[in-house]
């Protein structure tokens, strides 16, 4: 180093001394490092530049410090000339902003390792481009500088530059967003590997087209792109890129859906899937292609990939014709799409065939049967857990959502048919009508004997067991009963039966086999047309059974029974040691296939089978310990009842023994030599056999519990004599007790059964609710008296035009109370339109059907009208009659013309909807008895009471009666618009005589506008039901109409009631009679009233109220919309 240089350096150093200390110290270190590695003049330049930079502005000393800090490392990587340019670039940056220079210098050592020297300037430029003189922009630029070393690990410089361009683009909109993108990019690019460039390209596109989507897209990329298989990634990115250039496409959604779609298909189809999407995009519709990606996976649930291609190509044809149609198609929202899919797919969806199956089952069972997806029952959480298996709880058949077992639709549907027939079979052939006392036809009844024997386990077995014991009520001295500590009648027969078994699980499994066998064979017998499908389903089931020889002994025997029950008759193996038991079991199973078998026979068979099975140790067996069972059916048959009779004594004995505490799986009582034989075999805990898919879940106890209510109702007297008759509703405790024992519910409880697990507790609660819902007694509470209030005060006077005063009929005084009620007419406020839309979508099929029917009414409007005094032409018959009359000499009728009359249909109808508080009842919820009538007298309290009831109703997510009313109204409106009738829709409620609220949802003269659906939304349960004044007011409205026929539809959920809508001693009748009088007044005006009610108790008071008016009581609330329309059509045509 020359002297001169030395001097210069010293000067510079001194000058640098005026800055904070790091500058000078960094300079010192750098100079030491550089001296000798850099020519003097260059070193000089470097030092000069450094000083210059440091002096540029107030804060630029920081840049200087960084420069000096970075210099040694940078110099090592750069030729001298470029090293100086590097410093100069820094200087330029510093002129713009010292912080840029700081970031630049700081990032340089790392960056330059991966950057060609000639790109340094470009790099700085790219970063600098982000800087626009603001603090935020400088922060962003700095961030980019800082990130560069890391970014360059996964990006080429060119990519980096494009990324910077992208950031710049975004930064025009939001620096924050750009900053986030930069950060996310840093994490993302390494994961994307060589596709990072493509992704940056995409980012640029998105930033240019729809910058708002940048952020979500980056977020989406972090999951979707990263997880996507590498092979498809680049082509997928280019697809997203392509779509992102289009208007209205959300790249993040495309990315997510696309990734899901691609991830969902087999790897061999992934490229094809992207290609298919590309093809849609090529035709120009971005919406359609992104829809395709979204819909794809769902479509693939139903069809195979080649079929998807087919579906796609049909869509492409649609595209050629009309782009918007293609969008709907690829969203799978068009009819064509559904049709194509339907034709392609071999799977059958429950939703599509539900109605058919429902009617089918209904016809078979002869009672109301619902069909639902099995998942719904599981969701209720009342003891069923398998969403994929068919089952029933006595009133509803639950089926899997979709069947895709076979390559053809027909066979899949046949499977549906088989499983629903089997489930219906349980209902049709009385599985749930099991009675503890009803004697079986094939066996000596052991149930009652065991019942008493259990109580006194060690008491001698009754000696005359051949005598069929009569259905004696087990005495209350019975130990078992006392032990359980509950009223025996509170238990259901099925539970009483299972109580007999020491091992409930085994009992339940065996009973299930017997009962299903019985039902199967009954079904096959009654429905021979189904036999082929049924047999093939059984064969399928058989082929998927586990190998008997791999099961421990007891389970092997159970499996053995299942196989027989499924119709296997050859190659049956059973444990050698238990051949005799196997043979006896086979006989029992076959007995179940006899025509006269009853559910009680299945029960008796279960007792026997379980007695034998408990004696079999559940030990692991070697394959050679099994052997074929000889196929000696003949002999089986002959064995007959004789053998059984001898056996009975032993059976009961065995059973009683197994009831003793401490008795496990045959430890003590079994003969000593047996135990010796079995030293090798470890006893296994018994576990239930693998379920049979077509038979599904069978839960006799729960089902009987749930269906008992209905059965009582349906069968009336039959069960009154039986043990069902005295059933009282179970309390939670009793239910709990029952469920704890029940093998239907397989929940692990707390250790000693004292503590209920929360799951079980919740389930119990649900179950209890479900039962209440079903209990007809609870639903049809006798309407108690509304608290009587003798109303004081006289006639009312309206004070504003929307108030109307009406008389009220006092049937005891036999005269009107003048101006007694004040009706406040209000326009319903507007709500949301979505209820209307949703209903139309949900009930689309019903609506089309109804519209079709209503359209059929139209031609009748042009019917020939005969016997007119004036018309188009002479009507031949009356004309002839007139001529004859003239000849005979009597006065002829002048009505001898006919004409086609267009205006013949002239109907005005007013619908009056009950908006009383009780319509808040969920239709699936029990009505609590007498709750309605616990209404307090005091107006204030009454309001509080009502409000509490209301909120109760609102809280429930269930469908309420009022919702069904609303649905009905929506459909009605649509249908009525078809007909062109004049119609008005009104809601009524109120509280007290001076406060009858009358809500106008659509007035008679009003045209249908968008406002109406909004008003419908607002229909909600309010207060009480004072029908009379509302009817009078509606009558008034109708009376002003000049239509030929006028109708008044009253839709209510119960008897009229309101505070003071009564007179002492005759509470209910007062309201009923006033309503009746109001209806008569309507009729006097020439209006036809009709009352539709969902109150099952309705018949009694309606008979009085409606006497010779027309009315209908709906058995099921949910039928309301449908029925309403049918009735309307019937009444008005």
CB of 879 to another protein, least distance (A): 11
CA distance 193 to 957: 49
1045-1079 in b/e form (b: 16+ CB < 10 A) is: bbbbbbbbbbbbbbbbbbbeebbbbbbbbbbbbbb
CB of 722 to another protein, least distance (A): 23
DSSP bridge partners of 1048: 910, 1089
Give which of 93, 38, 37 is closest to 67, Cα–Cα.
93
Task: Kindly identify the residues of this chain, within the stretch 261-320, that bind another protein according to CB under 8 A.
Answer: none
**Of these, 39, 343, 363, 944, which contacts another protein (CB under 8 A)?**
363
CB of 1103 to another protein, least distance (A): 12
Phi, psi (deg, nearest 5) at residue 682: -80, 135
If one asks whether residue 891 binds another protein (CB under 8 A), the answer comes out as no
Torsion of CA 3, 7, 8, 13, to 10 degrees: 140
**Of these, 470, 638, 675, 1110, which contacts another protein (CB under 8 A)?**
1110
For another protein, give the closer residue by CB, 954 or 1126.
Answer: 1126
Work out the angle at residue 41's Cα, subtended by the Cα atoms of residues 37 and 47, and round it to the nearest 5 degrees: 80
CB of 414 to another protein, least distance (A): 9
Phi, psi (deg, nearest 5) at residue 897: -115, 160
For another protein, give the closer residue by CB, 363 or 874.
Answer: 363
Q: Which residues contact 800 (CB under 8 A, 6 or more apart)?
A: none
Overall size of the chain counted in residues: 1133
At 846, list the tokens. 């019903």
CB of 665 to another protein, least distance (A): 43
Q: Which residues contact 979 (CB under 8 A, 6 or more apart)?
A: 854, 857, 858, 905, 907
Q: How many angstroms from the chain centroid is the CA of residue 645?
A: 53
Phi, psi (deg, nearest 5) at residue 642: -55, -50
**Of these, 1, 10, 282, 531, which contacts another protein (CB under 8 A)?**
531
Mark the segment that binds another protein (CB under 8 A) among 51-59, 296-304, 349-357, 937-945: 349-357
If one asks whether residue 890 binds another protein (CB under 8 A), the answer comes out as yes
CA distance 673 to 548: 26
CA distance 1026 to 620: 74
If one asks whether residue 849 binds another protein (CB under 8 A), the answer comes out as yes
Work out the angle at residue 312's Cα, subtended by the Cα atoms of residues 306 and 314, and round it to the nearest 5 degrees: 110
Q: How many angstroms from the chain centroid is the CA of residue 207?
A: 39
**Of these, 125, 234, 367, 830, which contacts another protein (CB under 8 A)?**
367
**Of these, 17, 366, 546, 750, which contacts another protein (CB under 8 A)?**
366
Task: Kindly identify the residues of this chain, within the stretch 639-658, that bind another protein according to CB under 8 A.
Answer: none
Mark the segment that binds another protein (CB under 8 A) among 131-139, 762-770, 882-890, 956-964: 882-890
If one asks whether residue 68 binds another protein (CB under 8 A), the answer comes out as no
**Of these, 116, 298, 483, 1130, which contacts another protein (CB under 8 A)?**
1130
The CB density around residue 545, as the number of other CB atoms within 10 Å, is: 15
**Of these, 417, 422, 522, 1014, which contacts another protein (CB under 8 A)?**
417
CB of 528 to another protein, least distance (A): 5
CB of 433 to another protein, least distance (A): 17
The DSSP H or E segment spanning 530 is none
CB of 1099 to another protein, least distance (A): 10
DSSP bridge partners of 1046: 908, 1087
Task: Kindly identify the residues of this chain, within the stretch 532-561, that bind another protein according to CB under 8 A.
Answer: 532
Give the binding-site size for another protein (rule: CB under 8 A).
38
SS3 892: coil
If one asks whether residue 1016 binds another protein (CB under 8 A), the answer comes out as no
Mark the segment that binds another protein (CB under 8 A) among 74-82, 168-176, 351-359, 620-628: 351-359
For another protein, give the closer residue by CB, 978 or 1045.
Answer: 1045
CB of 1003 to another protein, least distance (A): 26
If one asks whether residue 1112 binds another protein (CB under 8 A), the answer comes out as yes
At 82, list the tokens. 């470029």
Residue with tokens 């790392």: 110
End-to-end CA distance of the chain: 117
**Of these, 58, 321, 335, 887, which contacts another protein (CB under 8 A)?**
887
For another protein, give the closer residue by CB, 343 or 880.
Answer: 880
**Of these, 58, 888, 891, 1007, which contacts another protein (CB under 8 A)?**
888
CB of 1046 to another protein, least distance (A): 14
**Of these, 157, 175, 360, 514, which contacts another protein (CB under 8 A)?**
360
Mark the segment that binds another protein (CB under 8 A) among 286-294, 357-365, 705-713, 810-818: 357-365
If one asks whether residue 426 binds another protein (CB under 8 A), the answer comes out as no
CB of 694 to another protein, least distance (A): 15
Which x/- pattern, by CB under 8 A, does the window 70-89 give for another protein? Answer: --------------------
Task: Kindly identify the residues of this chain, within the stretch 501-530, that bind another protein according to CB under 8 A.
Answer: 526-530
If one asks whether residue 1103 binds another protein (CB under 8 A), the answer comes out as no
If one asks whether residue 761 binds another protein (CB under 8 A), the answer comes out as no
At 309, list the tokens. 């291609």
If one asks whether residue 365 binds another protein (CB under 8 A), the answer comes out as yes
If one asks whether residue 362 binds another protein (CB under 8 A), the answer comes out as yes
Report in angstroms the alpha-carbon separations of 595 from 238, 429, 524, 573, 605.
Answer: 69, 11, 11, 27, 15
CB of 523 to another protein, least distance (A): 9
Mark the segment that binds another protein (CB under 8 A) among 22-30, 109-117, 178-186, 353-361: 353-361
For another protein, give the closer residue by CB, 413 or 655.
Answer: 413
At 746, list the tokens. 């397989």
For another protein, give the closer residue by CB, 359 or 954.
Answer: 359
If one asks whether residue 1100 binds another protein (CB under 8 A), the answer comes out as no
CB of 885 to another protein, least distance (A): 8
DSSP bridge partners of 1087: 1046
CA distance 306 to 490: 59
If one asks whether residue 53 binds another protein (CB under 8 A), the answer comes out as no
If one asks whether residue 359 binds another protein (CB under 8 A), the answer comes out as yes
CB of 1098 to another protein, least distance (A): 12
SS3 594: coil
CA distance 812 to 666: 77
CB of 363 to another protein, least distance (A): 4
Mark the segment that binds another protein (CB under 8 A) among 350-358, 783-791, 907-915, 970-978: 350-358
CA distance 453 to 438: 18
CA distance 572 to 590: 14
Q: How many angstroms from the chain centroid is the CA of residue 872?
A: 60
SS3 153: helix
Q: Which residues contact 185 (CB under 8 A, 6 or more apart)?
A: 151, 163, 200, 203, 218
For another protein, give the closer residue by CB, 430 or 987.
Answer: 430
For another protein, give the closer residue by CB, 331 or 1123.
Answer: 1123
DSSP bridge partners of 309: none
CA distance 110 to 149: 5
Binding site for another protein (CB under 8 A): 355-360, 362-368, 417, 421, 526-532, 849, 880-881, 883-885, 887-888, 890, 1108, 1110-1112, 1127, 1130-1131
């Amino acid at each position: 180093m020359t002297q001169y240089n030395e001097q210069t350096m010293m000067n510079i150093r001194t000058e640098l001394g005026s800055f904070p200390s790091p500058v000078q110290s960094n300079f010192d270190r750098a100079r030491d490092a550089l001296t000798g590695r850099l020519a003097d003049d260059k070193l000089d330049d470097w030092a000069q530049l450094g000083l210059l930079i440091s002096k540029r502005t107030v804060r630029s000393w920081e840049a200087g410090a960084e420069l000096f800090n970075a210099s040694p490392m940078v110099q090592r990587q750069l030729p001298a000339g470029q090293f100086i340019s590097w410093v100069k670039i820094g200087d330029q940056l510093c002129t713009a902003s010292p912080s840029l220079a700081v970031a630049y210098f700081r990032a340089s050592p790392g960056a330059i390792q991966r950057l060609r020297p000639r790109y340094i300037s470009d790099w700085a430029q790219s970063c600098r481009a982000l800087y626009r003189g603001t603090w935020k922009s400088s922060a962003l630029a700095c961030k980019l500088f800082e990130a560069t070393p890391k970014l360059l690990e996964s990006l080429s410089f060119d990519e980096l530059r494009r990324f910077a361009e992208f950031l710049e683009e975004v930064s025009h909109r939001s620096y924050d967003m750009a900053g986030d993108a930069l950060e996310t990019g840093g994490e993302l690019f390494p994961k994307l590997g060589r596709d990072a460039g493509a992704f940056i390209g995409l980012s640029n596109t998105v930033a240019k087209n729809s910058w708002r989507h940048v952020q979500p897209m980056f977020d989406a990329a972090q999951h979707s792109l990263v997880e996507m298989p590498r092979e498809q990634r680049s082509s997928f990115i280019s697809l997203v890129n392509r779509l992102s250039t289009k208007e209205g496409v959300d790249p993040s959604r495309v990315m997510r859906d696309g990734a899901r779609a691609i991830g969902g298909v087999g790897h061999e189809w992934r490229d094809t899937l992207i290609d298919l999407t590309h093809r849609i995009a090529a035709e120009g519709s971005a919406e359609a292609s992104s829809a395709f990606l979204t819909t794809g996976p769902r479509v693939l649930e139903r069809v195979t990939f080649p079929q998807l291609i087919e579906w796609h190509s049909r869509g492409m044809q649609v595209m050629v014709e009309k782009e918007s149609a293609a969008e709907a198609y690829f969203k799978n929202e068009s009819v064509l799409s559904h049709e194509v899919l339907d034709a392609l797919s071999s799977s059958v969806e429950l939703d599509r065939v539900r109605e058919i199956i429902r009617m089918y089952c209904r016809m078979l069972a002869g009672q109301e049967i619902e069909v639902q997806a099995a998942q719904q029952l599981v969701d209720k959480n009342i003891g069923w857990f398998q969403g994929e298996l068919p089952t029933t709880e006595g009133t509803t058949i639950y089926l899997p959502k979709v069947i895709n077992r076979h390559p053809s639709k027909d066979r899949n549907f046949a499977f549906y048919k088989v499983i629903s027939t089997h489930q219906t079979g349980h209902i049709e052939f009385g599985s749930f009508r099991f009675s503890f006392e009803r004697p079986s036809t094939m066996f000596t009844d052991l149930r009652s004997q065991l019942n008493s024997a259990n109580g006194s386990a060690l008491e001698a077995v009754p000696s005359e067991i051949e005598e069929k014991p009569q259905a004696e009520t087990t005495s209350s001295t019975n130990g078992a009963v006392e032990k359980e500590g509950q009223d025996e009648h509170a238990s259901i027969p099925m539970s009483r039966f299972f109580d007999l078994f020491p091992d409930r699980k085994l009992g339940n499994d065996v009973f299930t086999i017997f009962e299903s066998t019985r039902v199967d064979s009954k079904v096959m017998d009654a429905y021979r047309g189904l036999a082929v499908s049924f047999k093939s389903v059984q064969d399928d089931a058989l082929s998927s059974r586990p190998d008997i020889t791999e099961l421990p002994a007891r389970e092997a025997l159970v499996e053995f029974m299942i196989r027989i029950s499924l119709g296997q008759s050859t190659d049956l193996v059973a444990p050698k040691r238990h051949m005799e038991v196997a043979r006896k079991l086979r006989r029992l199973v076959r007995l179940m296939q006899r025509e006269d078998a009853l559910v009680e026979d299945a029960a008796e068979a279960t007792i026997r089978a379980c007695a034998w099975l408990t004696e079999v140790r559940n030990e692991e067996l070697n394959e050679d310990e099994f052997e074929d069972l000889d196929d000696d059916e003949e002999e089986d048959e002959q064995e007959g009842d004789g053998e059984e009779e001898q056996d009975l004594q032993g059976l009961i004995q065995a059973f009683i023994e197994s009831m003793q505490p401490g008795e496990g799986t045959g430890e003590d009582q079994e003969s000593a030599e047996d135990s010796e034989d079995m030293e090798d075999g470890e006893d296994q805990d018994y576990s239930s056999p693998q379920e049979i898919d077509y038979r599904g879940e069978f839960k006799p106890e729960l089902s009987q519990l749930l269906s008992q209510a209905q059965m009582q109702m349906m069968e009336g007297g039959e069960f009154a004599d039986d043990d069902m008759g005295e059933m009282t509703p179970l309390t939670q405790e009793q239910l709990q007790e029952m469920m704890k024992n029940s093998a239907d519910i397989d929940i692990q409880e707390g250790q000693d059964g004292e503590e209920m697990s929360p799951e079980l507790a919740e389930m119990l609660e649900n179950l209890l609710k479900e039962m209440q819902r079903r209990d007809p007694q609870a639903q049809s509470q006798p309407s108690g008296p509304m608290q009587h209030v003798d109303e004081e005060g006289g006639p009312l006077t309206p004070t504003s035009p929307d108030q109307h005063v009406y008389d009220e009929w006092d049937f005891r005084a036999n005269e009107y109370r003048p101006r007694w009620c004040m009706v406040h007419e209000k326009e319903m406020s507007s709500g949301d339109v979505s209820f209307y839309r949703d209903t139309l979508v949900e009930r689309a099929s019903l609506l089309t059907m109804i519209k079709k029917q209503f359209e059929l009414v139209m031609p009748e409007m042009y019917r020939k009208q005969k016997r007119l005094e004036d018309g188009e032409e002479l009507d031949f018959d009356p004309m002839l009659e007139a001529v004859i009359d003239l000849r005979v000499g009597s006065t002829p009728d002048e009505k001898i013309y006919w004409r086609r009359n267009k205006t013949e249909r002239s109907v005005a109808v007013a619908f009056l909807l009950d908006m009383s508080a009780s319509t808040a009842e969920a239709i699936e919820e029990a009505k609590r008895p007498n709750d309605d009538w616990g209404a307090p007298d005091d107006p204030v309290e009454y309001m509080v009471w009502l409000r509490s009831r209301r909120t109760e109703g609102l809280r429930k997510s269930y469908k309420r009666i009022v919702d069904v009313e609303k649905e009905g109204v929506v459909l009605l409106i649509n249908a009525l618009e078809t007909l062109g009738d004049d119609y008005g829709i009104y809601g009524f409620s109120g509280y007290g005589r001076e406060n009858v609220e009358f809500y106008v949802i659509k007035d008679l003269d009003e045209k249908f506008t968008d406002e109406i659906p909004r008003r419908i939304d607002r229909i909600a349960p309010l207060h009480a039901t004072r029908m009379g004044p509302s009817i009078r007011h509606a009558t008034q409205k109708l009376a002003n109409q000049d239509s030929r026929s006028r109708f008044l539809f009253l839709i209510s959920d119960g008897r009229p009631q309101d505070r003071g809508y009564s007179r002492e001693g005759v509470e209910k009748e007062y309201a009923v009679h006033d309503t009746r009088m109001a209806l008569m007044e309507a009729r006097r005006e020439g209006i036809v009233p009709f009352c539709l009610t969902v109150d099952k108790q309705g018949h009694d008071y309606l008979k009085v109220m409606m006497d010779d008016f027309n009315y209908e009581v709906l058995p099921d609330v949910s039928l309301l919309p449908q029925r309403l329309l049918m009735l309307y059509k019937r009444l008005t045509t």
